[in-house]
Structure 1
Amino acid sequence: MTKALRYLCCGAKCLGASTKPEKETTSKKVVKGSKSKKRGSVLVQKPADTTFYGPRIFTFRELSTATKQFSAEEVLGRGAFGSVFKGTLKDGSIVAVKQIAHDSNQGEREFLAEVSIISRIRHQNLVQLQGWCHEKGNLLLVYDYMPNGSLDKLLEGNNANAKLAGWDLRHSVLRGVACALSYLHEECQQCVLHRDVKPSNVLLDENFSPHLADFGLARLIHHTTDNVQTTIIAGTRGYLAPELAQVGKASTKSDVFSFGVLALEVATGRKALEKTQSEKQAVSLVDLVWRAHEQHKLLSMADPKLEGAYDPEKMNKLLQMGLFCCHPNPEARPPMNYIRQWFIQEVPLPDLPPVKPRVNYVLTSPSPPKLALPAPEAKLAIAGPEAKLALPAPEATLAIEGPQKSSSTPSKSPSPTDNRSPAPKSPIPRSPTTPSPITSKEHTKSNGASPQPQTTPQTQPTQPSSATNGN
């Protein structure tokens, strides 16, 4: 047993799972002269109260007896993670016991998700968890029993009360599921993503009121976070939003897409994926309804089992609402709160595009640390060493530029007209042949600003012939 299951067992009392009644103290006067040794008051314990408020822990023996040792005759249904059995407790109440398969890789994760999520929420359109059991390597969940089965059996006609599945009942079922999803998305303390909305997870009680069930794939996120990154695409094929396969982010809009497929199934009586005679592969129901919408034959998709006993205008609006929820662009899908208001008050829906839009989904990088580094900092980090090597280059050029100009002449003193030369910063006594200020000034006046005349031969004005020989 993992640490999570141990923590779950320890937190049972916090969820109100304790079945032991608290002792109540009542005062009782002692009659004088009696031989009783009790002082002043006694503890009176009331009979055990079998009622409980919230989920509790069942024993494996208790559930095994309730389901007749998990007999095949008591099986209500089978799923990807296990089977559901009908059980009768000692007090006569009927429950549904879900047994997680031992060979299920994600069975324990589903068990923890169901107990941690559904045990803390209450809604009239959500199935209630009565308790759980984890003994001898068995993971069991106990729910309220729904006598009218699931919605998919009702639509397929396998239910004994399938004839009652008229327009009013279908509209009422969709409204209840919309209220449940709106509660999960916006009214809970934390936003709950169901991630597996489909007809088989919608259970009907004795009054045909819908109850959304199976929270094994549900996830909790903050209301400020619109999506959650997932490494494994969870859900059922045909009900998955198209962006999940590309982006891998589940959000409330992905639940809206699944609800849209559910609404189309209820209106058309068809499955989310079905094979046609002309095409060997399974065709999506969403694509079929979009084609009918493009050809202006939307009412032709209505369920023939209704035999026309429906309002054409309301059926047309229901099909449009289903396509609106299944819009390829997640941002164009309405929130579940808006859909709930549409069922209650019939608020108007935006106009659908005449043709199914095509959307390109952008796949983000799976490594956020690399994307978090700004590009300018990376460029500066790479250009740093090159910048350090390039900085001395202008200084070296300036240092060599002076000698290069003075190497053409015997004197190292710069020309007075060259303002760029750094030679004036050097001390004058370094040049033994530096001309006097008077001589250089007279030479400048006579030759102007030309840098070509040589000043070194004029350091000795009495010997002009030596200057001529130097040139």
Structure 2
Amino acid sequence: MTSALRFLCCGAKCLGSSGKPGKEGGSSKKAITGSKSKRGSGAGAQKAVDTTFYGPRIFTYKELTAATKQFSADELLGRGAFGSVFKGTLSDGSIVAVKQIAHDSNQGEREFLAEVSIISRIRHRNLVQLQGWCHEKGNLLLVYDYMPNGSLDKLLEGANGAEKNPGWDMRHSVLRGVACALSYLHEECQQCVLHRDVKPSNVLLDENFNPHLADFGLARLIHHTTDNVQTTIIAGTRGYLAPELSQVGKASTKSDVFSFGVLTLEVATGRKALDKSQPENQAVSLVDQVWRAHEQHVLLSMADPKLEGAHDPEKMTTLLQMGLFCCHPDPEARPPMSFIRQWFIQEVPLPALPPVKPRVTYVLTPPSPPKLALPAPEAKLAIEGPPPKALAIEGPPSEKKAGTPNGTSTTPSPIDPRSPALRSPATRSPLPRSPATSTTTSREHDKSTTTSTSTSSQSEQNQPQANGK
């Protein structure tokens, strides 16, 4: 048992959800008495209200084996990428769906952990409810609510005996429910949930054909401010993957929107996301077919012929346009799921689609290398030269004016353009000239001046003698 699985099991036991409701650690009832009960009237007493939190619990392998009749083929509901789903009847008579993860699937264990950690903490009327799980003797089992009408793809194919040809109202209701579920996952949960595998086979229908989004094995939790997650493996189903995933490898809420757009086009047209009658390398996607019909102004011709015209042409056209709007090649042009949910409820107007399918180039921006802390450049030395007279020459203390405090003068002294006060901080000399150096330079300057003067005087005295000769 991995450490992650051990943590989940211990967490469930700490919550007291390991037993059935009504047993030890599983139920607690609290009677709430009305105001009339204070008067002694029995009619005013309210009934006991059950405040028990019925959350996911841990099942035993023996219990689930008996519920599924030793995982009999007669109870098999379907097979997935990582396991099989069986119909089970618990000891209390309730019917559940038991998903058995394949033993030789490493990805199946990650799917198991994702399902338990994500779907066990969210509640929505259009999300499938997790009843519990089992990790015993190397077996990984997930227990869900049983959906008697199967999945949406079977309904569209006519495999469900109860309703072979779903009408317009049912299709519209199913899409509205899935849109509400995705809007809840993207914007209303404490952390944003990316489903990453939205398709008809993961939409289950209850006894009233209400949709429930299922299969959170590929889901990821991200912060609302992040809006994307970098993935090393492209997760999802071919035909429903957003085009930018294969280029940049970043899943986001907009990639879920693209998958929902493909789902919408499947429900409206009754066709598969990929035409499997063609070779795999030449398979024509449903999105391209609908875009081509839109460019040729024959969008209504893509409506499902099984409806036999029992639909509003204007509403069908708008639904197909909404599907293309969600499948826009540019992720930034796709609407958020909250807008799609509002469109299904209030029928808000859609933005205008481009007349032809846009061409978008996806560029993967490599991460910028970390910036090194380079040393600051050395400041350039100031121009060498004698100090300005106004700042270097100071008068004797006896010449200070007596009319000002401390004998200082209030008349501003002229400032030389080379004064350090007018230099920028970058050009100031970091090492000021020492007084000894200034004195030495001044003495050498005076000495050279005296030598030059004496030489000049001697030459002037010799000049008349030369003229006299």
Q: TM-score range by the shorter chain?
A: 0.7 to 0.9
Q: Which structure 2 residues correspond to residues 35-434 of structure 1 after superposition, within 5 A?
A: 53-275=54-276, 281-366=282-367, 370=369, 373=371, 381=374, 384=377, 425=442, 427-428=444-445, 431=448, 434=451
The answer to whether residue 38 in structure 2 is matched with residue 21 in structure 1 is no
Distance 1:424 1:10, change over 3 A: closer
d(CA) in 2 for partners of 1:89 and 1:195? Answer: 32
Instruction: Report the count of equivalent residues.
Output: 391
- 1:10 maps to 10
1-side partners of 2:28 and 2:221: how far apart?
39
Moved over 3 A (4+): 13-16, 22-25, 275-280, 381-384, 391-395, 422-426, 428-433, 456-467
Instruction: Report the TM-score, using the length of structure 2 for normalisation.
Output: 0.76
SS of the residue 2:275 aligns to: strand
99-108 or 129-138, larger mean C-alpha shift: 99-108
The CA deviation string for residues 220-263 of structure 1, in whole angstroms up to 9 with x for no partner, is 12222222222222111111111222222211111111100000
Deviation string for 1:448-470 (max 9, x for gaps)? Answer: xxxxxxxx576543445999xxx
Deviation at 1:136, TM superposition (A): 0.6
Note if contact 1:194-1:218 (Cα within 8 Å) is conserved in structure 2.
Answer: yes
Deviations along 1:348-374, whole A, 9 cap, x unmatched? 1111111111222231214x5x1x53x
* RMSD over equivalenced CA pairs, Å: 3.2
CA contact (8 A) 2:156 2:165 kept: no
Rounded Cα–Cα distance in structure 1 between residues aligned with 2:266 and 2:442:
92
SS at match of 1:296: coil
Q: Cα offset for 1:382?
A: 8.3
Q: Which residue of 2 aligns with 1:461?
A: 460
The TM-score, its normalising length taken from structure 1, stands at 0.76
- Mapped partners of 2:250, 2:443: distance in 1: 71
CA distance in 2, matches of 1:338, 1:165: 26
- The alpha carbon displacement at 1:430 in A equals 5.6
* Distance in 2 of aligned mates of 1:428 and 1:187: 84
Following TM superposition, by how much is the alpha carbon of 1:18 offset from its aligned partner in structure 2, in angstroms?
3.0
CA deviations 1:20-65 (Å, max 9, x no partner) are 335999xxxxxxxxxxxxxxxxxxxxxxx9x971111000111111
In the other structure, the counterpart of 2:452 is: 435
SS of aligned partner of 2:18: coil
AA in 2 matched with 1:264: L
User: How high is the sequence identity, in percent, across the aligned residues?
Assistant: 79
> 1:14–1:167: structure 2 CA closer, same or farther, 3 Å change rule?
farther
Contact 1:329 1:359 in 2 (8 A): yes
1:431 and 1:58 map into 2 onto residues whose CA distance is 106
List alignment gaps of at least 5 residues for structure 2.
Answer: 30-49, 386-417, 419-437
Q: Deviations over 1:76-109 (max 9, x none)?
A: 1111111111111111211111111111122221
Provide the secondary structure at the position in 2 that maps to 1:132. strand
275 and 63 in structure 1: CA distance in 2 versus 1, 3 angstrom threshold: closer
Contact 1:196/1:217 (CA < 8 Å) preserved in 2?
yes
* Distance across 2 between alignment mates of 1:277 and 1:296: 25
Residues 278 and 284 in structure 2, CA contact (< 8 A), matched pair in contact too: no
Q: Which amino acid aligns with 1:240?
A: L
- Aligned twin of 1:40: none
CA distance in 2, matches of 1:297, 1:459: 114
Give CA-to-partner distance per residue, 1:171-213, whole Å, 9 cap, x none.
Answer: 1111111111111112212211111100000011111111100
Q: CA 1:96/1:462 → structure 2, altered by over 3 Å: closer, same or farther?
A: same
